[in-house]
Structure 1
């Protein structure tokens, strides 16, 4: 299992917004930050351009690998552990990004979460939840680079056996499952019981009540999404997380 980050609070990626400056600004409150998401190959970059055309924000650097290398270098003196959330329909860019993450001690997070139609049609995002063997192959390629690997997944996708998907990903080498529970908070417990991994729970994390609910269900950490640029929310979440683990480990 990957070495836990401290505090047990992560920042969840926000496409087009989650960069090194965003992570650095939250370093007093979070132990990890997932930058991105970054579209890596031509299929997902074409999908990202379509998303931008309908006024969604996306990172579209000319060279995704060089961009990520620079972003990680910018966090080299920060206490926060960085991760990079990536979307790819093909394997070679995942291998290249894994090499960069390994060199910087960063987490490579494979996105099986994005539900935008364009990204799913390209073979990335939550389409991977319906093809767990292909997701597992992405995990294997990423893990072979030596980087710590996270898989970002989503609950409530029709026809998807999420515990089985998570189990296959962990068996293939994933260290972290980053679970967006949607409105199925108890799915955190189901996935925790089905896998031996570091489980990060996401969705609606704002205060002591939401933190305690996820941790009691078996999460090892929580992550904050949209309010990740609000210090007052992050401060509440960190206090609640620190207090919970202090009591449990006492």
Structure 2
């Protein structure tokens, strides 16, 4: 999927091509975005900026994705784009752009902001697995590699069941924000053959190895993603972990 097995996790309104380029030598993948694609989620994003949240709100979000991925052409990492939508057609268009660039399209089932959930995006998709499956299937039909980002500790939601839904719909990656339930990564890894990226609190060798010990295929770094010293430590831990797995 990508090497080294360290990714940058999307930071709303901040994770763009220049952010990825600044630390490109330390990671194997960068999830840009998130970006709101359709009218309902763009309205939600505007409301969120009124509460001083940072959001990408270009006039044409799909063209923005294309331009950002162009800016990463030749970078020593695999690009990815986290997208939010309440409707399928814009996700299909974004996925087609990602496919053309060899990038991963990531469906955001993670955002917990009230406005985004009320619009039918973000973590509301974890509660509506049939809808999530439709989004994943439509994106996968473009030939793109499809990721879903979701979070643990949502009442009434089983992440292993979500993982099985993603896999059955043709998805490839489950990007799991473990919150304070790190061991949920083991439950997800055991449930499917998806490529599992573990997120939350990854700050160095010890936290990376904890997630890898639970069966994660890679880890991602969120807020400290602009700190090379942290990324170096995380990469060292993951490199050594996987080297030991293949050693005789």
Query: Structure 2: which 5+ residue stretches go unaligned?
Result: none
CA distance in structure 2 between the aligned counterparts of 1:80 and 1:16, rounded to whole angstroms: 21
Number of the residue aligned with 2:181: 184
Q: CA deviation at 1:185?
A: 0.5
Query: Structure 1: which 5+ residue stretches go unaligned?
Result: none
CA distance in structure 1 between the aligned counterparts of 2:181 and 2:189, rounded to whole angstroms: 14
Deviations 1:76-101 (A, max 9, x none): 11011100000000011011001100
CA distance in structure 1 between the aligned counterparts of 2:66 and 2:134, rounded to whole angstroms: 24
Number of the residue aligned with 1:197: 194
Is 2:154 the partner of 1:157?
yes
CA distance in structure 2 between the aligned counterparts of 1:207 and 1:104, rounded to whole angstroms: 30
CA distance in structure 2 between the aligned counterparts of 1:63 and 1:8, rounded to whole angstroms: 32
CA distance in structure 1 between the aligned counterparts of 2:242 and 2:138, rounded to whole angstroms: 34
Matches within 5 A, 1:6-45: 6-45=3-42
Is the 2:80–2:103 contact (alpha carbons within 8 Å) kept by the matching residues of 1?
Answer: yes
Q: Specify the SS of the correspondent of 2:148.
A: strand
CA distance in structure 2 between the aligned counterparts of 1:70 and 1:138, rounded to whole angstroms: 23
Q: CA deviation at 1:74?
A: 0.5
Q: Specify the SS of the correspondent of 2:13.
A: coil
Report how many residues are paired.
Answer: 247
TM-score of the two chains, using structure 1 as the length reference:
0.98
Q: Specify the SS of the correspondent of 1:99.
A: helix
Q: CA deviation at 1:159?
A: 0.9
Root mean square deviation of aligned Cα? 0.5
Is 2:204 the partner of 1:207?
yes
Q: Specify the SS of the correspondent of 1:125.
A: coil
- Runs of 4+ in structure 1 deviating by more than 6 angstroms, as ranges, are none
Number of the residue aligned with 1:136: 133
